[in-house]
Structure 1
Amino acid sequence: MRRLLIGLTALAVLAPLTACGSSDSPGGRRDDGTVAITVGVIPIVDVAPLYLGEKQGFYRDRGIDLTLRTAQGGAAIVPGVISGQFQFGFSNVTSLMIARSHKVPVRAVANGGASTGEDGADVGGITVGKDSAVKTAKDLAGRKVAVNTLKNIGDTSVRQSVRKAGGDPDRVTFVELAFDQMAAALDSGQVDAAWAVEPALSTIKGRGGRVIASNFVDVAPDLTVALYFTSVPYERSNPELVENFRAATKESLAYATAHPDEVREILTTYTRIPEATRRAMTLPHWPQEPNRASIEVLAALGTEDGLFTSAPDLDELLP
């Protein structure tokens, strides 16, 4: 959360790492009538629908020349959207609620991704090493748990799993580690458990690790995990374009849901996930609409954990 707040204060502009689509200046109208936009994304499986939608022409059919630029994390995408570097961005719901609670004018425009809702078969889970004595989330009290970002959706949802299992969530110590470092940290005993999402989750399981709880499922059935968003000023100035982006994204989400093999294949264009992991990992669910009830639960948990300076107004945030 500290990185997010620093970024919001400074409106730091993140240097893009890779791109898909047009490389021209974003935000302008082309000679062919399309409008160039750039979307800030993270190189994870969750954003595969946008890559598929761009390939299938769903955005161009609605007058959008789409460029996807990968960033190191959502904490930089929010200030990137506010500064105008990106017209749209991808972020987990908790990061957007944190931004909104700090009066940062972000607004969700389309669903991003969701939990499968299946305990033990979700896109994320609390994992332990193969020889760990930890059997359930209750056993995490007094132990170290790795999350990718402190004071965000990871530790909030892990606390809920501990709470539901009858443990004391206040006795869990969280350690910040990148997802791709978690398998080694479990093997070495640096941490007792790790909250991992795909593809890191499949990597850990492939090394003999076990999932002891599905923390997204413990928060709410069919939890909305992430959203695509823009800035409020941009939405007000470009209502037709925002609506076209929303419609094309919905079509992309539906296409990804219906074509899982194409999802796994397009991952090769923007990630370095090994083939065996790509074939084994659990894919997110991509409903076309966010599940507001699940977001309300996440907001309540975040408030309880002290993530927000003031309770986020979901009517201002959600589409």
Structure 2
Amino acid sequence: MQTSRITRRPTGLALTACAVALSLTTSCGSGSTTGATSADGKAKITVLRSNGAIFEPLYLAQQQGYFEDAGLDVTIKAGAQDTSQNAPSVLGGEAQFAMTDSSGFLKGAAQDMPIRIVTGLQSATTRTAPTDGLLVKKDSPIRSFADLEGRTVGISALGGTIQFICEYLVEKDGGDPSKVKFVALPTSSLTDAATSGKTDAVFSFGPFYFAGKESGLRSMGNGMNDLPGMVQGVLFAGQRYLSANAATAKKFTGAVAKAITYANEHPGAVKAIDKKYTEVPDEFIDAHDTNYYDKNLDTAVMRTVITKMHTFGLLDKAPADDAVYWDQAPTVTAGGE
């Protein structure tokens, strides 16, 4: 069990990632700038997806022919279990695009890695019911996030999006995030930890969140949906690749945008992909609504995330917008819903 009040990604980790890229390229961050083509003249692209979810639009773009119509030959591969570690593969030219979440990307950007978000895939939204959140015992004295002061919260990984949203909601509720202790536990053990009293609360998600509620745990708040517009899934690429292949990148993001629209209109197609590519039981997939996908990147909400992550000690520094977004990314400034 890993324990931490605040976790900062050490500079050495980014340097290790850079070293991996160095073994593949002549300089850290150089990457591949020349786009390869297939025998029939299509631009070849490899994209690394997450191992969990939110990747469904990629497969729909492939199935519906959106990539082919755009003149692209796209290969989708499962990336690193920790999606923040997909950056070395992108910088080294093994892939042109990769998935991660906002905290995973921002940790790289804060270390000056030359990567940029090209499109969003999903953001927290009030359009859908929560699929994640804080769970406590039914008779727990914890009634608000501020009540987490002096308590222990179990989460699946330290220093990422889940720790951030917990600290953000504690502060928003008038509490002091620095007085909350976080421990990292296997996702499958979170319900047990809260039920047994090993932790005072847990923040769970997906099937584990619903299983926790069904076991008698009480949920608090609306999870990540309590910060509408917070980016939960993005696709990113290396800056040099984007500079040299802007037209190809635009075709790729355009095809993904079409697939996002299709996904929102055809939940059955999304569920079919989940059944094929995830380990989530078919019964759970059938019984729950699909997520809402969104290409737009809310820069106002992202700036809040960046500022607060830095304040909480989860980022070494707060990267500027021009170090976060591709200049052709679908950014908006709605500031949430």
- Would the alpha carbon gap of residues 174 and 109 (structure 1) be closer, same or farther in structure 2, given more than 3 Å must change? same
Partner of residue 20, structure 1: none
Q: Which residue of 2 aligns with 1:241?
A: 248
C-alpha spacing 1:104/1:62, structure 2 compared with 1 (3 Å): same
Q: Quick one: distance in 2 between partners of 1:82 and 1:58?
A: 26
RMSD of Structure 2 on Structure 1 (CA): 2.4
CA distance in 1 between partners of 2:210 and 2:10 (Å): 28
In structure 1, the partner of 2:182 is 174
Letter in 2 for 1:39: V
TM score, norm. by length of structure 2: 0.82
- The CA deviation at 1:273 is 0.5
Alignment CA distance shift 1:178-1:238 (3 Å):
farther
Rate the CA distance shift 1:313–1:279 in 2: closer, same or farther, 3 A. same
Whole-Å separation in 2 of the counterparts to 1:291 and 1:253: 17
Q: Per-residue CA shift, 1:71-99, capped at 9, x if unaligned? A: 31212212222222221111111221221
Matched, 1:262 2:269: yes
* d(CA) in 1 for partners of 2:212, 2:232: 21
Query: 1:172, CA displacement in angstroms?
Result: 0.8
Instruction: Report how far residue 53 of structure 1 moved.
Output: 1.6
Matched residue type, 2:75: T
* 1:125 counterpart letter in structure 2: G
Matches within 5 A, 1:281-300: 281=288, 283-300=290-307
Task: Letter of the 1:115 partner, please give it.
Answer: A
SS of 1:46 mapped into structure 2: coil
Q: Deviations over 1:68-126 (max 9, x none)?
A: 2223121221222222222111111122122112110010111121112269x223212
What's 2:99 paired with?
90
| Corresponding residue SS for 2:280 | coil
Matched, 1:201 2:209: yes
Aligned to 1:163: 171
Tell me, yes or no, if structure 1 residue 272 matches structure 2 residue 254: no
Q: Which residue of 2 aligns with 1:231?
A: 238
Aligned counterparts of 2:297 and 2:275: Cα–Cα separation in 1: 27
Corresponding residue of 1:17: none
Partner of 1:21: none
Whether the aligned pair in 2 keeps the contact of 1:122 and 1:282 (CA below 8 Å) is no
> 264-273 or 142-151, which moves further after superposition?
142-151
Structure 1 residue ranges without an equivalent (≥5): 14-25
* Structure of greater Rg: 2
C-alpha change, 1:156 and 1:146, in structure 2 (3 Å) is same
Write the distance in 2 (CA, Å) between the matches of 1:98 and 1:3: 7
Mapped to 2, the partners of 1:27 and 1:149 lie a distance apart of 36
The answer on whether the counterparts of 1:123 and 1:282 sit within 8 Å (CA) in structure 2 is no
Query: Contact (CA 8 Å) 1:118, 1:217: kept in 2 or not?
Result: no
The one of 70, 73, 76 equivalent to 2:85 is: 76
Stretch moving more, 227-236 or 174-183 = 174-183
1:1-319 → structure 2 map (5 Å cutoff): 6-11=12-17, 12=20, 28-70=36-78, 71-117=80-126, 121-130=129-138, 132-218=140-226, 220-281=227-288, 283-318=290-325, 319=329
Task: Name the stretch that deviates more: 266-275 or 40-49.
Answer: 40-49
Cα distance per residue 1:127-173 (max 9 Å; x no partner): 22455443332222212112233222211110121222333222111
State percent identity of aligned pairs: 27
